[in-house]
Amino acid sequence: MDPARTLKVGIVGCGEVTRFKHLLVTRDLPGIEVVALADGDDNQLRTVGEMFGIAHRYRDIAAMLEHPGLDAIAVCVPAHSHTEVALAVMEAGKHLLVEKPLCLSLDDADRMRECAAKTNARTMVGHHMRWHRLIRKGRDALRKGALGKVESIRTVWNSPRIIHKNPQWRFRREDGGGVLVEVAVHCFDLWRFMLGSEVAEVYALSRHGNRDDEAISVSARMENGMLASAQLSETTPHEIEVDICGDGGRMRIDCGRFDGFEIIPAGAQPSEPMVRARRIANFMMELPGGIAGMRSGSDYMASYKAEWMHFRDTINTNSDVGCTFDDGRRSLEVVLAAAQSANSGMPVRINDAPRQLVPAKR
C-alpha cells in the first residue's frame, strides 16, 4: 500500500469502546479515515454516525464488506461475536484489528489463527496498553537491567461501570462480561509483554454482585519462576498500576499520572529525601508534556492513538504487528484458567485449562 494514501477504515460495533475511545483518537489521526460503521442496533448506529459525521452505516458485516475502497476493519463487538465477524473480514482480504479478548474459546482462537495464516492482510489484537507511554518506558528499562533480577509483578486495574448503562452481555461471564474477561486479560498480556515469559499456573478468587466477576484477585507463577498478581474491580474509582520488583530495585508505574514512572533503588525507602527529590524533579520534567497531554487526552487515550498509528504503519510498510493472534490466544489461556480456578477454589495450570470459558459459579 502507498504510505501516502489514507487508510479507509470501517468499525463494526458502536458501543462504548468505539464511541469513547477509537473514534475519538482516529478522527484527527493522519493517514486514517473511518468511513463506515456497522451495528445491529439502528439507534446506536445512527447516534454514533451522526456524532462523528460518518455517513456510511450498515446493519451487519456482510453489508459493510461491500463498501468500495475499504482497507481495514476494526472489530469492536462483544467478545462472544468476535470470531464470526473476524473470519468474515479475513476471508474478504481486509486488514483486521480485533479488540481484546481475541475470543472466548481456544477452538475459536485456533480457527482465527489458521485463517490469519492464509491471508496477506495485517491481523492484530487490540491490547492497547502495550502502547502506553509509561508501559513502554518501563519495558525498555527492564530490558536494560534497571531492576537486576526481576522477582515479581503486581498489577491493579479498577474501572467502574454504571450498572444501568451496561448492556446485558456485560452481566454474564460466558458472554464476555465481568472484570476477569474484559479487564484482567489486559493484565495477563502485560505480564507477558513486560516480563518476556509465559504464565504457568494461576489461582483466582472472584466476587460476584449484580454482575459476574465484579472483583477478582489472581495470583500466578510465570514459567521463568517470577511471581505475578492482579487485583481488579469494576465498582471502584479508576486506577491502573504496575509494580515490578527485582533484586536491584522497584519500578512503580501509575498509568493515570503523567509523572507516574518511578524506580526506587534496592535498599532505598520511598520516604527518603533523595527519593523524594527525584520524584519532584521527575514531576517538573514531565509537567510540560503532562499539560499538553491534558489538552489532547491522557496517556491512556494516547495508547489507543499509538496503537492505531502502529496498525496503520504495519499496513503501509507490510511489517509485523506488535500484538499477534498468538499473543491474544496466550492471554485468553490465562483467562480460561483463572475462570476455572475461581469456580473450583484450586490453582489451575495453564496447560490444564478448559478450552472454552466456564460460566461463573455463584
- For residue 290, the domain's CATH number is 3.30.360.10
Instruction: Using the structure block, give the residue that is written with the C-alpha cell 481488579.
Output: 232
Helix/strand/coil for 362: coil
* Rounded Cα–Cα distance for residues 80 and 100 (Å): 11
What sign for the dihedral angle of Cα 188, 192, 195, 197?
Answer: positive
Kindly report the CA angle at 283 between 281 and 286, in degrees rounded to 5? 110
Task: Output the nine-digit C-alpha cell for 28.
Answer: 484527527
Distances in Å between the Cα of 144 and the Cα atoms of 139, 196, 334 are 9, 13, 28
Domain membership flag for residue 361: no
- Domain boundary (107, 129, 151) is at 129
Q: Which of 184, 237, 175 is nearest to 206 (CA)?
A: 184
109 and 234 both lie in a single domain: no
Residue 109 lies in a domain: yes
Residues 79 and 123 in one domain: yes
166/55 same-domain check: no
Q: Are residues 172 and 227 in the same domain?
A: yes
220 and 294 in a single domain? The answer is yes
The answer to whether the beta carbons of residues 113 and 343 sit under 8 Å apart is no
Does 137 share its domain with 280?
Answer: yes
In the block, cell 493484565 appears at: 187
Tens digit of each residue's pLDDT, the chain (362 residues): 666 689 999 999 999 999 999 999 999 899 999 999 999 999 999 999 999 999 999 999 999 999 999 999 999 999 999 999 999 999 999 999 999 999 999 999 999 999 999 999 999 999 999 999 999 999 999 999 999 999 999 999 999 988 777 899 999 999 999 999 999 999 999 999 999 999 999 999 999 999 999 999 999 999 999 999 999 999 999 999 999 999 999 999 999 999 999 999 998 888 888 888 888 888 888 888 887 777 667 899 999 999 999 999 999 999 999 999 999 999 999 999 999 999 999 999 999 999 999 999 98
Residue 358 placed within a domain: no
Within-domain flag for 319: no
CA atoms within 13 A on the CB side of 51: 14
- Which of 85, 104, 129 is the last residue in one of the domains? 129
CATH number, domain containing residue 113 = 3.40.50.720
Same domain, 193 and 220: yes
Same domain, 285 and 143: yes
Query: Do 216 and 296 belong together in one domain?
Result: yes
Boundary residue ending a domain (129, 157, 175): 129
Enclosing H/E stretch for 261: strand 261-265
Residues 103 and 138 both lie in one domain = no
Whether residue 20 is contained in a domain is answered as: yes
Q: Are 226 and 150 in contact (CB under 8 A)?
A: yes
Helix (H) or strand (E) holding 265: strand 261-265
Q: 3-state class of 255 per DSSP?
A: coil
**Does the residue 190 lie in any domain?**
yes
Instruction: Quote the domain boundaries for residue 24.
Output: 7-129
Q: Which of 170, 291, 154, 136 lies closest to 219 in space, CA to CA?
A: 154
Domain count, the chain: 2
153, 300 in Cβ contact below 8 A? no
The reply to whether 123 and 140 lie within a common domain is: no
**Residue at 312 is within a domain:** no
Q: Count Cβ atoms below 10 Å from residue 249 Cβ, excluding itself.
A: 18
162 in a domain, yes or no? yes
Give the sign of the dihedral formed by CA 16, CA 19, CA 20, CA 26.
Answer: positive
Indicate whether 73 and 160 sit together in one domain. Answer: no
